[in-house]
């Protein structure tokens, strides 16, 4: 049975409300009960340039945008020329006839009609979703409901403008796409929102960041939504301040996360090692973009993989994990916040622009999310505390609290101020009390303590799900992160049977789950010119391959193109 994918594209200049139009289009398709996937493409510009939003929908699962569109609405001339080749065989191209004299498709006077109202440049985005509603056979009453829901400012003028566009569009395209309704559930959210919600569900107290695309939406979301949950979101003066304050906040007992991208995360590297030495539980979020340096800052790539795994100086344990879907981003963020606290180590959530700034409808259960719990010293507040999921407590120590007490797991019980005990965290090498030392024996023993913690992390991960496997039979395809969504959609699009293997954890690498694929010569799909992921699975798990599909132009895989590449590899 042919899939019923319907794709809508709206293109225009930055400042014309293109992204908003995409989000509203997604809500319209969601109202039909259809699963949706929205991807926003934009340049690093405040105004002008070229922005577009792609919204693909289906009654079945969908995990990627499709660029072959049934309906494309272009608000400016550049968008028309860039997207005219993407119209599907049965598709319609609509353009703004006020900015183009001759063009193929259906022209509508979007700008001249908008000029009848205040601030016309901000109003043309309403035209695009009105055209979509007309093409789907929806009526003007419904359009008014949508505008009242989504464009609350200047509601009367927006409705009047939409009514005029609807009158012009309906005779030409009315009811051209009577889509089948679906039974999709869940609200459409962006990956960055899922990460933020996962952190909230995991017990986050404090989030700090210096804005940097594509990590900024996490800060924006928590700044707007965090306070009812008791979460403070702080915009500090630099990434150096962010990371160091996070370590200090964890000393005081705050469950803390920080986020950045590329060069901003590089500035956090020294504090990352500080967290390793102090054994500070901090969740670092690294949202990758096309790099090095400033690179192509509003586009996507997966070339920060080895950076995340090796960032910082010296040997110390860390956890690095990367979600493959928006839904997984929610649960994995909570899990990682929990791991940071369970093992008192810096932890990295590695993601990419494509996941963070793409939206799909998901159903999230906050009660399934891990709650960050520390191993606590019992002499807190004069009485015992309980950490039911983590077993026995550390008994009170007659010779005083030892912050870095040697244990079999390498994990020393935490104690927070205020306390009658001395609590000393130290960036220098130290003894069990946190007192500075440069003597060889305690130096070696403290190294061994931290290394035992890495072994404890591995033993913990062995009892959890560290690798997702989708499908069975056919060729083995390795992917990770947002490329997994693209691969799954490519298989549906191309009708390809395959086994998709997606390691969620990248450090420690789940060798115990992947050894079985040695000799499978998998197809490795990633967004890195150097093939960092294929090198990782070869070096760590002994899974070698000579079949690679790599994209590194800043754009995510398009499913029909990727399906063809996979077929050629089979």
pLDDT of res. 1: 46
| Contact assessment for residue 200 and residue 229, using Cβ atoms and an 8 Å cutoff | yes
Give φ, ψ of 352 to 5 degrees: -135, 165
Q: Taking the model in full, what pTM does it have?
A: 0.95
Identify each DSSP E strand in 159-301 by its residue range: 187-190, 206-209, 232-235, 256-260, 282-288
Q: Could you tell me which of 116, 83, 71 has the C-alpha nearest to residue 98?
A: 116
Q: How many helices and strands in the chain, by DSSP H and E?
A: 19, 20
What are the residues whose beta carbons fall under 8 Å from the beta carbon of 306, sequence distance 6 or more?
A: 532, 535, 536
pLDDT of res. 388: 46
pLDDT of res. 393: 53
**Mean pLDDT per 10-residue run, the chain (570 residues)?**
86 93 96 97 89 97 97 96 94 94 91 91 91 97 96 92 97 95 93 98 98 97 96 97 98 97 97 98 97 95 97 97 98 98 97 97 95 80 47 60 94 92 96 97 97 97 98 97 98 97 98 97 98 98 97 97 97
pLDDT of res. 47: 83
Q: Is the peptide bond before 293 cis (omega within 30 degrees of 0)?
A: no
H-run or E-run covering 523 = strand 523-526
Q: CA torsion angle for 63, 67, 69, 75 (degrees, to 10)? A: 120
- Alpha-carbon gap, residue 436 to 425, rounded angstroms: 10
- Please count the other Cβ atoms lying within 10 Å of the Cβ belonging to residue 348: 26
């Amino acid at each position: 049975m042919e899939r019923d994918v319907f794709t809508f594209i709206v293109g225009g200049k930055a400042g014309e409300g293109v992204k908003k139009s995409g989000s509203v289009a997604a809500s319209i398709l969601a109202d039909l009960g259809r699963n949706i996937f929205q991807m926003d493409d934009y340049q690093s510009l405040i105004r002008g340039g070229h922005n577009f939003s792609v919204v693909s929908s289906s009654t079945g699962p969908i995990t990627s945008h499709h660029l072959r569109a049934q309906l494309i609405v272009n608000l400016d001339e550049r968008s028309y020329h860039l997207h005219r080749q993407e119209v599907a065989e049965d598709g319609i191209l609509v353009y703004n006839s006020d900015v183009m004299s001759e063009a193929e498709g259906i022209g509508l006077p979007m700008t001249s009609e908008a000029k009848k109202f205040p601030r016309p440049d901000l109003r043309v985005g309403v035209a695009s979703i009105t055209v979509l509603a007309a093409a789907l056979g929806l009526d003007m009453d419904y359009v008014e409901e949508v505008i009242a829901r989504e464009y609350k400012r200047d509601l009367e003028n927006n409705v009047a403008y939409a009514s005029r566009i609807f009158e012009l569009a309906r005779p030409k395209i009315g009811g051209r796409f009577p889509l089948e309704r679906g039974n999709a559930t869940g609200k459409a959210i962006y990956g960055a929102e899922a990460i933020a919600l996962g952190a909230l569900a995991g017990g986050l107290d404090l989030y700090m960041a210096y804005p940097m695309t594509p990590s900024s939406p996490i800060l924006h979301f928590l700044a707007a939504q965090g306070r009812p949950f008791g979460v403070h979101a702080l915009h500090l003066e630099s990434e150096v301040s962010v990371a160091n304050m996070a370590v200090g906040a964890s000393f005081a007992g705050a469950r803390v996360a920080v986020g950045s991208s590329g060069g901003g995360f590089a500035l956090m590297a020294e504090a990352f090692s500080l967290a390793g030495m102090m054994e500070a539980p901090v969740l670092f979020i690294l949202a990758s973009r096309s790099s090095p340096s400033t690179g192509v800052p509003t586009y996507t790539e997966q070339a920060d993989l080895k950076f995340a795994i090796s960032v910082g100086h010296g040997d110390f344990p860390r956890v690095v994990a990367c979600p493959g879907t928006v839904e997984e981003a929610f649960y994995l963020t909570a899990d990682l916040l929990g791991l940071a606290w369970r093992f008192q180590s810096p932890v990295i959530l590695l993601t990419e622009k494509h996941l963070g700034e793409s939206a799909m409808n998901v159903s999230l259960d906050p009660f399934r999310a891990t709650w960050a719990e520390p191993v606590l010293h019992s002499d807190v507040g004069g009485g015992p505390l309980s950490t039911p999921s983590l077993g026995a407590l550390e008994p009170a120590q007659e010779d005083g609290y030892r912050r870095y007490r040697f244990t079999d797991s390498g994990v020393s019980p935490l104690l927070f101020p205020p306390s009658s005990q001395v609590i000393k965290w130290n960036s220098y090498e130290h003894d069990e009390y946190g007192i500075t030392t440069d003597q060889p024996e305690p130096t070696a023993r403290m190294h061994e303590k931290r290394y035992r913690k890495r072994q404890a992390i591995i033993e913990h991960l062995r009892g959890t799900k560290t690798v997702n496997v989708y499908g069975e039979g056919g060729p083995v395809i390795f992917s990770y992160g947002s490329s997994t969504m693209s691969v799954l959609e490519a298989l549906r699009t191309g009708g390809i049977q395959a086994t998709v293997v997606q390691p969620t954890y990248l450090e420690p690498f789940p060798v115990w789950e992947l050894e079985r694929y040695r000799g499978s010569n998998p197809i490795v799909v990633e967004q890195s010119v150097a093939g960092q992921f294929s090198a990782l699975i070869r070096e760590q798990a002994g899974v070698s391959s000579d079949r690679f599909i790599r994209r590194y132009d800043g754009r995510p895989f398009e499913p029909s193109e990727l399906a063809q590449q996979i077929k050629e590899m089979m």
